[in-house]
Amino acid sequence: MARTLFAKIWDAHRVASLPGGADIIAIDRVFLHERTGAAALARMAEMGRALRDPARVFAVMDHIVDTRPGRGDGTLMKGGEGFITETRAACQAAGITLFDVNDERQGIVHVISPEQGIVLPGVTLVAPDSHTCTQGAFGALAWGIGSSEAEHAMVTGTLRMERPRTMRVEFTGDVPAGVTAKDMVLALIAAHGAGGGAAHVVEFAGKAVRALDMEARMTLCNMATEFSAMTGIIAPDRKTFEYLAGRPYAPADFTAPYWQELASDQDAAFDAAITMDASQLAPMVSWGTSPEHTIPITAKVPQGPARAHDYIGLSAGAPIAGTPLNTAFIGSCTNSRISDLRRAAAILKGRRISPSIQKALVVPGSMAVKRQAEAEGLDTVFTEAGFEWRMSGCSLCFYAGGEGFPEGSRAISSTNRNFEGRQGPGIRTHIASPETVAASAIAGAIADPRDYAR
């Protein structure tokens, strides 16, 4: 019987089927971070429960670390240092591999896991972080869980799961110049709603998806959670295997037949299907307080929920382009990889950001990305343009009571969420691609990156 890629991975990891329809699924990898890791490990220790296999568990300092140069254990979050020191002690006691604050491998979990080859095609990987779906770009079944589920997975090596439904999202055609994976996924969410993928595993497919490099595929899968999907996944191919081969936790090669069979069968049935014509897409930017409040950068603000208009301060019928800005951010697990920084730097090179921009940051997704960018001189491009160049971490992707933009700022951001207060109290966030952030910072207002292409 023909099966989807998801079904092949799920069936291979089914330990048992339970009355009522749930399954016990084997979990290959668990990732923790400092906001949840110490608490989960402490509860396990208090209950006298040990990790089933510490070698399958990894932890990273990324969410609340200080990204300013010269950082240590201190953070700008009140009480944040305790999260870091307690996570470090708990990981040492449990024998867990930790990518610590000043480890040269440190970075955002969804960036460093692929860099290290921890995520692999066909594995199950979980973390108490909703953007774990990013790693589905490698043909893995990767999804976000709660901290209690993380404890269960670490102790038993399994999770009890209801089998999700499946959806195929096909992007046909060729992606136009100036349009990115970020624009593709924002267009999908805008067209079908923030709940469009609810309770589904979304497999991204089609000519336009295959044309994407691995870092762009990660961006596409990253925002599956903004589509309310359990996760996103893309069948592995030559690009996948070439990216992973020889990395520290990955095989030297992927020539075994098993790897080549990780794809949906040609006549596999999905529970739902969506087709998007990539050739008709334009750069996208959000106007409101949900990722579904997104429009082409050439469009006018539509009529939406009154609360969204009130918070964001934009009226229906106003052009989104030209909306004044005073802050800008390039970073996050969505768009902080070397290719993202290269594209933004190409627009900024030889230019300066507008005097109206009060604060602008570039936060690489990992220390490896930071080193590569510096080797290519990208840090100089950013700083000469007027951006601050930071160390790696989640930073202003979200506000955790630490660093933030000035209250009431209007920000253009390469992050994944534009919720009320996401980047700080009263901050009005417009999410877009790194190129759009760069172009808008130069203009001091939301701007079409195609107007700044060289």
| Same fold flag, 5-161 and 165-280 | no
DSSP 8-51: HHHHHHEEEE-TTS-EEEE--EEEEETTTHHHHHHHHHHTT---
Q: What is the three-class DSSP state of 440?
A: helix
pLDDT band at residue 297 under the 50/70/90 scheme: very high
pLDDT reported for residue 37 = 81
In the block, residue with structure tokens 């589904």: 200
For the chain, the domains span: 5-161, 165-280, 285-452
Fold annotation for 5-161: Aconitase; domain 3 (3.30.499)
pLDDT band at residue 404 under the 50/70/90 scheme: confident
What are the counts of helices (DSSP H) followed by strands (DSSP E) for the chain?
15, 19
pLDDT band at residue 38 under the 50/70/90 scheme: confident
Would the pLDDT of 401 be above 90? no
285-452 is classed CATH 3.50.50.60: no
Q: Rounded distance, CA 399 to CA 33, Å? A: 16
Range 30-55 burial, b when 16+ CB lie within 10 A, else e: bbbbbbbbbbbbeebeeeeeebeeee
pLDDT reported for residue 403 = 86
Q: Rounded distance, CA 67 to CA 261, Å? A: 41
Q: Rounded distance, CA 24 to CA 310, Å? A: 46
Question: Between helices 37-46 and 80-94, what is the axis angle to 10°?
Answer: 50
pLDDT reported for residue 343 = 98
Give residue-wise pLDDT tens across range 197-255. Answer: 999 999 999 999 999 999 999 999 999 999 999 999 999 999 999 999 999 999 999 99
Compute and round to an integer the Cα radius of gyration of the chain. Answer: 21
165-280 is classed CATH 3.40.1060.10: yes
